[in-house]
Structure 1
Amino acid sequence: MKKIAGLMILLILIITSACGMQQSDASKEVNSDQSEETSNVVEKTGVYVGQIDGHTIEISIDGEGETYYTPPAIAEEVLELEDGVSVNFSYFENDKGRYELTKITAID
């Protein structure tokens, strides 16, 4: 009986250890994705053309318009911008191939 109880405890320890390792590997993958996005951030200056829809805006750089995805985290900042204002902004290309804003501010 003691042998069975000992084996059960050993089995539980092995299973929980393996689960902990899988979670660590998953979190490493998420962290590497985030650091990859952060390392690819581009900073530019342009003219805010306007909002295309609830999550996309257009910014003109040297006369050429480009669209940028606006995540919920900075949507309020975008709503405060007036069309035609000069802006400094940062973005990266996300896993869907879209330019995703990380920051946008009007230039006074």
Structure 2
Amino acid sequence: MTDRTASTARTAEQTVRAQLDAFNAHDLGAFVATYAADAVIVGVAPEPLVGTEQIHSFYEPRLQNPALSCEIERTVLFGDRWVVAQEQVVNAGVATETIATFDVIDGLIRRASMLKA
């Protein structure tokens, strides 16, 4: 099975879970692989991150921080592609509540939006 075939077999919730697991494992390659090539992430940087190259560049130094983790407290699925997650992002023991929305198509995140409390 190819990586592309594996991603299309995942549900939206499974894709978001794979993204979270890769984030917590500090596995940059696996993290970026959950995003579509033209994905957009807003709310984590002053300007939107567009495409996997920008996502990789932004998250590379962050995922080198062993004190960084994320925990999903609950999720809600809308239709078969929208996941809204209540998260706790923890850095050096300090938690920040975040509401994250993910638009997942064919097993890849196309758009993610983060709203920090």
Greater strand percent: which structure?
2
TM tier relative to shorter chain: under 0.3
Q: Could you tell me the TM-score, scaled by structure 2's length?
A: 0.26
Kindly name which structure, 1 or 2, has the bigger radius of gyration based on alpha carbons: 1
TM-score, scaled to structure 1: 0.28
